[in-house]
Amino acid sequence: MDDLHGKRIVLGLTGGIACFKAAELCRSLVKAGAKVQVVMTEAAAQFITPVTMQALSGQPVYSSQWDAREGNNMAHINLSREADAILIAPASADFMAKLIHGKADELLSLMCLARPLQSVPLILAPAMNREMWAHPATQRNVVQLKSDGAHVLGVGQGDQACGETGDGRMLEAEEIVDELLAFWTPKVLSGQHVLITAGPTYEAIDPVRGITNLSSGKMGFAIARAAQHAGAHVTLVAGPVNLPTPRTVTRLNVRSALEMHETVQQTVAQASIFIAAAAVADWRPASSADQKIKKDGSGNTPSLSFVENPDILASVAQSAQAQKGHLFCVGFAAESHDLLAHTTAKRARKGVPLLVGNIGPSTFGQDDNALLLVDEQGAKELPRDTKTRLARDLIQDIASRLSKK
């Protein structure tokens, strides 16, 4: 992934055991395409070495305002002018207190004070003991930092190095990278409430067997993440998949098509955009046995009959039409062949303005995909790419359509 491609990030480390997470964070930022310049305080070097951070960033580490590599002795000016953002992770309680008073007695705090306010954002990932985090002084400082224009991330909850448990842990590397992606994503869906379905459904035959499909839910989860990055409030109705929930997304877990249908019906009234990305089973067994169906050695197989599941997308689209455009509906079509023909016919049958087609066997369980966007004017291809980037492109396309309504 290169979603941060070309971004120049100063990664500042302050004193705290969470410095060990900074190593993975640096690696993740570089992997995401960013150029990372590490600046460490003297206290940070007690927890992790500059050699480690230099190896991971591929850049010399700075720790002194008087670094001889800067001919003008103005590292605080030179480094801050070259940055797209200054990220302090971990940001200790002491360092945050320094920032609100404009105290600048070493290189990192000097850089924060000297940065161009309008072009170099300051992003802080706090890390400290739970009592320090909860202290009124720290909370006042957080409020003041936000008022001064800093972007203060939340904290994690769990076991701490001191042996206590609670709030105050620094966010994990992948969470901070996700926050950066969201920070730089244009908020084209600000004020929108997006309801998304994702993953397969599971239709039980008996307590241990059922009918499902190969959908992993990755595309739907990627769309939920992209919509959240774009500023939307997102509700995700997820079938039985083992995927992490995107940050700040409300997740509602379901199992069967009937459960998904009921959950969508209960939540769709609050939505302004509905994206049906789930691979919902078309049929379910007419009845499900209470106990496991056993073989009896006769060679006879059990007889199964099926009934059709409700069409979630069609029912929502029909209601949306009755509401005269309050809800913008987007469907997905997972096909095995003749993608354009089947997707075009399905869009007309479902009565939705946009249907997204893909070849199911070539994408189920994969991290990449290729999409075909079909509307009443025709079709547009989104060539094979990561599901993350395709989700971002799809959200941009939806936002563009809404702006023209």
Active site residues: 162
Q: Are 301 and 356 in contact (CB under 8 A)?
A: no
* Sequence-distant (≥ 6) Cβ neighbours of residue 230 within 8 angstroms: 185, 186, 187, 188, 189, 190, 395, 396, 399
Tell me the CA distances in angstroms from 380 to 56, 94, 185, 218, 277, one per residue in order.
41, 53, 23, 22, 18
The first and second tokens of residue 326, run together, are 């309050």
Phi, psi of 175 (to 5 degrees): -70, -40
Distance, CA of 334 to CA of 201 (rounded, Å)? 14
Helices (H), 197-333: 218-229, 257-267, 312-322
The first and second tokens of residue 344, run together, are 């075009």
Residue 5: CB atoms within 10 Å? 10
Phi, psi of 396 (to 5 degrees): -65, -40
92 CB-side CA count, 13 A: 19
* Sequence-distant (≥ 6) Cβ neighbours of residue 131 within 8 angstroms: 164
Q: Are 272 and 326 in contact (CB under 8 A)?
A: yes
- Residue 101 is given by DSSP the state T
Helix 93-100 and helix 136-147, axial crossing angle in degrees, nearest 10: 50
Number of residues assigned to the chain: 405
The first and second tokens of residue 116, run together, are 């161009």
Sign of CA dihedral 275, 198, 395, 225: positive
Q: Are 164 and 129 in contact (CB under 8 A)?
A: yes
The first and second tokens of residue 78, run together, are 């030179």
DSSP helix/strand/coil, 46: helix
Q: Are 71 and 25 in contact (CB under 8 A)?
A: no
